[in-house]
Amino acid sequence: MSSAAERVLSVRNLKKKLGNKMIIKGISFDIYGGEIFGFLGPNGSGKTTTIRMLVDLIRPTEGTVTVCGLDVHEEHTEALKLMGSIVENPEMYPYMTGWENLEHFARMVPGIGQERIQEVVDIVGMHNRIHDKVKKYSLGMRQRLGIAQALLGKPKLLIMDEPTNGLDPQGIKELREFIRRLADEGMSLFISSHLLSEIQLMCDRVAIISHGEVIAVGRVDELLEQSTGKVLIHVDSRDKAMQVLEGFANLEITDAEEVEMAELTKVSDSVVFAVRMDMTEVSHLNHALVVAGVNVHALQIRKPSLEELFLNLTGGESID
């Protein structure tokens, strides 16, 4: 697919200083055509500041943002024609109807007529309520209207800041399917979230940000594979097994909490260790245990969640 190689958004060494404090300390990443890109980080990590720099609400202290080769800050008009965005909450004019709001924003882009407004209303499925005043909308309706306005200019890149905020589980599921559909049609999507599960379910690639720095970028599944997973080892003898485990390099015996949980399902009178290790070493470990005369009842490989990955990368910074 040719569009897959096309670089839609390119962020290079983006920095922002507010007062004397570096809020964003040099962020770089790329988004390609038709991909759903997740931007993951805890609250206060600089997600929103970064997004505001992407759409030229904030001027970066250093670095560039280019959309299809156009610099967002130097060629504002041309670059923003290619983008649709919802920054934080989708705030619209409450004293106008949904339709009037869309007309308002359509007037700001040349060549968008009534047909396109009708189209986006159909896309987000709002025809029943579109002529109601926005102040009567629920948060879910506002999100939809927000998406509708972002789609008005047929953007190549759609930027959504915490799009699942305020949606019920059904709404989140619909949104997920909707986002996938847009991506299948060739649009690139940038989705920020502090919810790991959301990103894991929705996105092709992810950048993880913490304290204003990107600490990892990559495909979600690759990132997960790279990271050291956890193995639960059920054995019959604590002391012998301990000797073997301590003899292994790059192996870490981890939290007891998880061991207790595993013990609920353990084989009778076995001892459970939880270790963090390279997955390719698991069979060697098994061999070593058997050679040492330890009876191995079970080896459980626990795939890391994005949450564990995040904790790994940040060294324990909390995230919800």
Task: Look up residue 295 and give its amino acid.
Answer: N
| Cα Rg of the chain, angstroms | 24
User: What minimum distance in Å lies between the beta carbon of 113 and other proteins?
Assistant: 12
Q: Do residues 215 and 209 make contact, with C-beta atoms less than 8 angstroms apart?
A: yes
Tokens representing 158? 């759609």
CA of residue 226 relative to chain centroid, distance: 17
Instruction: Determine if 194 is a binding residue for other proteins (CB under 8 A).
Output: no
Does position 93 interact with other proteins (CB under 8 A)? The reply is yes
Considering only residues 109, 279, 282, 288, which one is a binding residue for other proteins as defined by CB under 8 A? 109
Q: Which is nearer to other proteins, 113 or 315 (CB)?
A: 113
Stretch of 104-112, 123-131, 163-171, 235-243 lying at the interface with other proteins (CB under 8 A)? 104-112
We find the least distance from the C-beta atom of residue 34 to other proteins, in angstroms, to be: 22
- List the Cα angle 240/245/248 in 5-degree steps: 135
Residue that has been written with the tokens 């060294």 in this structure = 315
Instruction: Give, as ranges, the residues between 51 and 80 that touch other proteins (CB under 8 A).
Output: 52, 55-59, 76-80
Stretch in the footprint of other proteins (CB under 8 A) among 101-109, 172-180, 243-251, 255-263: 101-109
Alpha carbon distance 268, 301 (integer Å):
19
Residues 6+ apart with CB under 8 A from 111: none
User: Which residue, 93 or 222, is less far from other proteins as judged by CB?
Assistant: 93
Q: Which of 8, 11, 24, 92 binds other proteins (CB under 8 A)?
A: 92
Residues 216-245 that bind other proteins (CB under 8 A): none
Positions in 118-177 near other proteins (CB under 8 A):
149, 153
The encoded tokens of residue 153 equal 């200019």
* Residue 111: exposure state from Cβ atoms within 10 A (0-12, 13-18, ≥19): exposed
| Residue numbers at the binding site for other proteins (CB under 8 A) | 18, 49, 52, 55-59, 76-81, 83, 85, 87-89, 91-96, 100, 104-105, 107-110, 149, 153
